[in-house]
Amino acid sequence: MREAAFFCTIFPGLYHFAYRAWEFSLDNRKKNVLESLSNRHKGEWHTAYIALGSNMGDRKEHLRRALKLLDSSQFCRVEKISPIYETEPYGNVEQDRFLNGAAKIETLLSPGQLMDTLLRIEGELKRERTIHWGPRTIDLDIIFYDDIISSDPHIILPHPGVHERLFVLKPLCDIAPLILHPVLKESCCRLALSLEGKQEEPTLYEEAIEPEK
């Protein structure tokens, strides 16, 4: 060690070169560790269920376009789409009837990133948030994301109102009848049955809807 120090005092340029080489080696090791951690999460697809609704303009076209925008993302793929139902508006705001549906998707996005994606799609379809529970061109909500339970204000999981809304549960039952609510530990179909007779039964509007080509 003393010999190396003495050698570097005689050839200071060599010392600087050796130090930079050591820094470069350290940076590469750090980079390799980060790449290793990142690669662990690449290709991990997660299952999410999305509720869709529209009661302004061409309602069916808004649903179709929302599905197309979601499916065209390299980080999401639409796996199943429910029939479309016509329903009374939820809440105490007088407005037109809704078309509602649900979709099962696979995604590489985290819950927060997926929520941001849905908000961006709502923006592209001119969604305006002026009245709570008011009319809207499109409404997109994450109902379930795997079996995650989250109280994050940006994305609460599962959706806090799903068990109280037949217009959400009805189409969800068509594509995932046995999926369990991760908090209530009840299937969607059982939750829907508990609301029958208490809320208006959604009316079948169309058997199937495909994303816009």
Catalytic residues: 127, 136, 139, 141
Tokens of 111: 């819950």
CA–CA–CA angle 35, 38, 44 (5° rounding): 145
Peptide bond into 135 cis (omega under 30): no
- Scanning the structure block, which residue is given the tokens 């980079």? 31
The alpha-carbon radius of gyration of the chain (Å, integer) is 26
Question: Which has the closest alpha carbon to 105: 86, 118, 123?
Answer: 118
